[in-house]
Chains A and B, each alone.
Chain A
Amino acid sequence: MTERKSPGSLSSSAMPGVVERHRGEERFKFLGLAAILVSLSFLAFFLVSIIGTGYGAFLQTALKVEVDLTYDSLGLVEPATEEDIANIRYRSIVRSAMRDIITEDVGRREARTLYGMLGAAAEFDLRDIVVEQPQLIGTVASLWLTSSDDVDLYNKGDASEASQLQTRLSEKQQEWYATLEAQGRIKTRFNWTFLTSSDSRDPEVAGVYGAMIGSFFALGVCLLLSCVVGVLAAVYLEEFAARNRWTQFLEININNLAAVPSITFGLLGLAIFLGFFGLPRSASLVGGMVLALMTLPTVIISSRVALQAVAPSIREAAFGIGASRVQAVFHHVVPLAMPGILTGVILGMARALGETAPLLMIGMIAFIADPPSTLTQPASALPVQVYLWADSPERGFAEKTAGAILVLLVFLLLMNLMAVILRRKFEK
């Protein structure tokens, strides 16, 4: 046996610089981890700030007032007809209800500011309630009505000092607010208006319903076009086309099209659909067509992948029992590839749902107060609504913008979940 070398000749201390190199190893690994953490913290910060701003859009402040609906004060005789109800002057009823609560003497000017605490939304509320429950006529009803936007923001901002300073309520209004609050006349409730009404100049009555319908129409058109054309094109390329120059050219073309900036498709839509074919501006039909152009390459590519995943033996088996190529493909291959194709289509639709720029190009940027009822009517879309509200100087709209973003994100989440579930199933 040779004698034992000095112990530890294989240890870190046996070579200069090794300890430092191991430290470098840790540092490098940490850099990678840090990059991921920074990226993910952007995501977290982003979601937190959107949710933090946006959840308020789903809440609204309501004031409880006693509304005098007796025949006397309405100046009606029993029984009230539908026409009577439609003609009731709700504004003055709401105003006098406010006067009844705040008993102190107020001058004309101050009265204005008092009425300002219940805005236009309160009148609509009252009308809706009365139309729905005509039996209230003849009574003095105690009702919760939507407050004005300023009161709403004041309430949601709670007592934090910053919002006290920023509030647009006058000192007098703040006093009244305190009185109302002391009497238990203020509450925060879920804001159905946000989901059931359309765009408005008043933040307290503005909602995303119209935009949702617009997006729904446009996506419907987009789905129909891109799904049919895209899947058929993929079937052609995968199952029928010979491998020649032409298909190669098509392939390169499709891949490049998938990476073209989305705004370019808007320009195309503007020049061809509006300029050349004279289709109506701002229509969800044109929006859907433009979105279809944009998603088509993605749908083709993902459908081809799904078709490729179908085992060749399926085709051979179909040919073996005498099926023609068309029969083999449409009876056997396409159904098997369907989950994969659908996954791709859904993801394409999700992208289309969030797309804004091409829609701006074809004029979907106008203020539209009513949901569209046909495909050719001027319409808005969810992301466009986000853009419009984000541009609005009124403070109440910041909250609405974030709220609309949340609605958009929920839809995207649902679509992606669907895709994930489909893919899971597909993989089994």
Chain B
Amino acid sequence: MLENKLIQPLNVSYSSDEAGSERADEAAKIVASGVNVSYAGRPAITNVNLNIRSKAVTALIGPSGCGKTTFLRCINRMNDLIETCQVSGSITLDNEDVYGDDVDVVVLRRRIGMVFQKPNPFPKSIFENVAYGPRIHGQANKGDDLNEIVERSLIRAGLWDEVKDRLDAPATGLSGGQQQRLCIARAIAVEPDVILMDEPCSALDPIATARIEELIDDLKTKYTIVIVTHSMQQAARVSQRTAFFHLGELVEENEAKVIFTNPSDDRTRAYVTGSIG
């Protein structure tokens, strides 16, 4: 599960940004309090309380099966698609409960985009993939508006130069890394506030991974990003805040540097030094 190199002490440069530490209670984009999730009555995560900073990258780490994906999918209510899944507690986006009675998941998910573990471009052209979101949401239907959105999103996802000559080619013909960046472009095309990423690099080679990491670093100026990752190095490189999950609990959340160098909980320490997981 852990990459071998992580067993050694970490010697990566930490992404230190203003958003990181100081203003701890400030600009909380998403606030989860007392979140419990169970599948068919079997609890998956219990009592998670977590503030997620605006315009910063928050990484969720933890051993397999600890509930990272489950928590992530609570935020944009993708768990609604699983019939056996039960969520309690509250999660707010800009102080508004996403599980509130009058919340429309269509609106919610337009504001909270998602990128999945395995690149999942639609079997359509590159252009149509990016245009999909703006089209369904009526943000732009055709012509220059749409072209502009597609171009802007592809540029922002760092894919434009590679595909600008073949926008009509099928997206499934792209390489894995390109596909994943296309999925990111697709997500940002609808202008969300938040982007959730579930192990976006786990199916990619190191070079493609590096490109995505760079991209994430760029994107945080505009978006709030929550990323699940199994790579501690990645978490350290891209995130300002890191949350460690273990057995369905949120053990510890802090500035990335603190989590990786001086965690307060033994379990966190054990995990980041590679002795559990």
Contact = CB atoms under 8 A, between A and B. Distances in A.
Give yes or no for direct A-B contact (beta carbon below 8 Å). yes
A16 interface: yes
Contacts of B94: 2, 5, 9
Contacts of B55: none
A18 B110 CA distance: 11
Contacts of A10: 93, 96, 98, 100, 102-104, 107-108, 111
A322 interface: no
Q: Which 9 A-B pairs have the closest CB atoms?
A: A11-B102, A12-B104, A10-B103, A17-B138, A4-B95, A15-B107, A10-B108, A10-B107, A5-B94
Interface in B83-105: 93-96, 98, 100, 102-104
A284 B28 CA distance: 84
A12 B109 CA distance: 12
Contacts, number: 52
Interface of A: 1-2, 4-5, 7-12, 14-18, 21-22
Which interface class (under 10, 10 to 19, 20 to 34, 35 or more) fits B? 20 to 34
Nearest to B110: A15
A5 B107 contact: no
B107 A18 contact: yes
B78 interface: no
Nearest to A8: B102
Contacts of A15: 104, 106-107, 110, 137
Nearest to B105: A10
Nearest to B93: A10
Contacts of B137: 15, 17
Interface centre among B93, B98, B106, B108 (most CB of A within 10 A): B106
B27 interface: yes
Contacts of A21: 106, 136
A165 B106 CA distance: 64
A2 B96 contact: no
Given A7-B96, A12-B106, 8 more contacts: A1-B25, A2-B27, A9-B107, A12-B102, A15-B110, A16-B138, A17-B138, A22-B104
Contacts of A4: 95-96
Contact of A18 (B27, B28, B93, B104): B104
Contacts of B28: 2
29 contacts: A1-B25, A2-B27, A2-B94, A5-B94, A5-B96, A8-B96, A9-B94, A9-B96, A9-B107, A10-B93, A10-B96, A10-B98, A10-B108, A10-B111, A11-B103, A11-B107, A12-B102, A12-B104, A12-B106, A12-B107, A14-B104, A15-B107, A15-B110, A16-B138, A17-B137, A17-B138, A18-B106, A21-B106, A22-B106
Contacts of B111: 10
Contacts of B104: 10-12, 14-15, 18, 22
B135 to A, nearest CB: 12
A2 B31 CA distance: 12
A5 B100 CA distance: 14
A14 B95 contact: no
A5 B98 contact: no
